[in-house]
A and B are shown apart, each in its own frame.
Chain A
Amino acid sequence: MEYLSTDKILVIDLNTTAIEEDELDDSLVEEKIGGVGITKYLYEKYQDDDPIVIGTGLLTGTTYPASASSQITAKSPVTGKLCHCPIIYKVGLEIKYSGFDYIVVKGRSDSPVYLWIHDGVADISDAADVWGKDVWESTDALRTFVGDDLLQTMMIGPAGENGSDYAQVCYNHWNSPDRFGFGKLFGAKNLKGFAFRGMGMIEVAEPEDYVERSLEILKEIKENDFLEKKGLAPMLTVLGEAGVEEWINPITHRNSADYFTPYATNTALFFDEDPELLKESEKDEPGILVSDIYALLSLKKLGLSADDAGRVLKASAKYGIDPFAVAKLSGKNTLEELTGAFDSLQGEVAIPGSGIFTPWCPTGPIFNDFDLSGDEEIMDWWERRQAVSMIFGIQPIFSLMCPELTEANMLELASMGTELELTQEVLDAVIENILG
């Protein structure tokens, strides 16, 4: 495919170390659009090899607002279902610019490896030097090795290597939306993770029109009053959780956004540094970046101080374990007990609805009501909204805030950008297929 695409599907066989490239045919996009529409198709095509499929959205990395996300599609080793996990921060963006729209990883390696994806080239690299290291050590080691601090990673830590059901695939240094145990799946394949970097260019069929419409949509979005707020705490407040802002604000450093996402959905907590420090900290690891509002809330509800909650989140990110599972399933309520319980968690984290989307993402609208009422209507809307976000590559939390991001204007921009006829009927069929 010529537009909004790298035109490349990468297929990596860890059994044989074979690396193949396929073209992304227009006909597949006309039928499945993109994102999880196509990752599910690729999963089914290669399902005998228990694949992990990484996919970008059709609009990912463009001027469409909040076009930040990519996704992992794989069978959860915990639930047995085919699940979809958003890839957030700046990692989802980097995948497309590293030169591939989709990456299929088949089989299992005999020894630990990581996949180094850069500027349209893919390498299976020996991970002996990082296997056994935690997520932070691994990301730092690869960035140092490559000589690029902007290298974007998806890594597992000891939890994934040891086969924990609660192991996450972490993004750069941070916990991720993974509630599916995808970290365990990586570990079982001897796959430490991915490193991405690229300076590619994405062509667009009608660039001037595409950019003009993007700006019109952005201007509509900016009319929302909630954009005066930033970070996790206001989200929890509007979701009905009182007292979070008073608890967390004293250690909040700054809030940051995923690529071109108008609301800053990430909050940095400083507990080994003055949170009000503006200049660069002289400490290497002053705190933690948090995107998981429910992990944060669960730690608060255990009675932890915000400082100790931040330390649990940091230890979880390093170990590569779901901090929500740590808070909910460990039965512990002190910093020392919680961080000592990573290897002894038992029980299940409930996955709502059809069980294919992550409850890291709040299961209802945020800041706006979208004219919804009743639990069933809200859950149906949420699952459809998640599917749409992950077809087009939209930051999935922001899509719950913003009615101006419509299916109609996503289709409009996708059609304008690709010169393909992508209709509501096609989108409805893709969503129906995803939701099964």
Chain B
Amino acid sequence: MGIQINALKCTNCMACEMVCSYHRDDGFAFLSACLVAYRAKEKKDYFGMLLKEEDVLIVARPEGIEINKIGEEADPDKKADASAKPMLLRESCDLCEDMDDYGPMCIAFCPVDAITLD
């Protein structure tokens, strides 16, 4: 069971990122989120989501899902964004196991239902 992301339904509102971080911090912040709205290519209107799971980093792009195994060597041809967040240092998605009333917060709070449980 895991998070499934439809990047084409996503409107890049960052609600998922906020409540994901809230689940860790009990305050409003973005620093601890394991699910992040990707928005660094603003002029190109290119956005999606990044999700850190225990063994993989999922990149939900508009053109499809890319799954990168954590620990594998990065593609040397891919240029990292200057603002790339240290996703690998963050805690992995735990499906908000301690949020009994909600289930995964990102699913509960996504206003456009772009995130579902697989």
Contact = CB atoms under 8 A, between A and B. Distances in A.
Q: Do A and B interact with each other, yes or no?
A: yes
Interface of A: 61-63, 65, 90, 93, 97, 136, 143-144, 147-150, 172-173, 199-204, 207, 211-212, 214-215, 218, 221-222, 227, 230, 253-262, 264, 268, 270, 278-281, 283-287, 289
A268 B42 CA distance: 10
Nearest to A270: B45
A414 to B, nearest CB: 14
Given A201-B25, A278-B63, A285-B43, A258 B13 contact: yes
A234 to B, nearest CB: 14
Contacts of A287: 45
A172 B12 CA distance: 16
Contact of B28 (A202, A230, A270, A278): A202
B44 A200 contact: no
Interface string B1-20: 00000001001111100110
Contact of B19 (A63, A136, A148, A258): A63
A230 B11 contact: yes
B87 to A, nearest CB: 14
Contacts of B30: 97, 199
A227 B63 contact: no
A63 B18 contact: yes
Given A201-B31, A207-B22, A257-B13, A63 B109 contact: yes
A147 B83 CA distance: 7
Given A143-B82, A201-B28, A256-B47, A279 B63 contact: yes
A289 B45 contact: yes
Given A204-B28, A207-B27, A259-B14, A149 B83 contact: yes
A66 to B, nearest CB: 9
A90 B14 contact: yes
B11 to A, nearest CB: 4
A149 B101 contact: no
Contacts of B56: none
B118 interface: no
26 contacts: A63-B109, A136-B43, A149-B83, A150-B39, A150-B83, A201-B27, A207-B27, A211-B19, A214-B109, A215-B102, A218-B111, A222-B111, A258-B13, A259-B13, A260-B13, A260-B18, A262-B13, A264-B112, A270-B45, A278-B8, A279-B61, A279-B62, A283-B44, A286-B43, A286-B45, A289-B45
A215 B23 CA distance: 14
Nearest to B61: A279
Contacts of B101: 212
A3 to B, nearest CB: 9
What's the dominant secondary structure at chain B's contact region? loop
Highest count of chain A CB atoms <10 Å: which of B15, B41, B42: B42
Given A172-B42, A261-B111, A286-B43, 17 more contacts: A63-B28, A65-B111, A90-B39, A148-B82, A149-B42, A149-B83, A150-B83, A201-B25, A202-B29, A253-B45, A257-B111, A259-B14, A260-B109, A279-B63, A281-B44, A284-B44, A287-B45
A261 B13 contact: yes
Interface of B: 8, 11-15, 18-19, 22, 25-31, 39-47, 61-63, 81-83, 101-102, 108-109, 111-112
B44 A286 contact: yes
A214 B31 CA distance: 21
Highest count of chain A CB atoms <10 Å: which of B8, B11, B22, B41: B11
A352 to B, nearest CB: 29
B112 to A, nearest CB: 7
A289 B111 CA distance: 21
B44 to A, nearest CB: 5
A155 B11 CA distance: 25
A320 B40 CA distance: 22
A268 B109 contact: no
B111 A256 contact: no
Given A215-B108, A222-B111, A257-B13, A202 B27 contact: yes
Contacts of A215: 102, 108-109
B22 A262 contact: no
Nearest to B32: A201
A256 B11 contact: yes
B61 to A, nearest CB: 7
Nearest to A144: B82
A149 B40 contact: yes
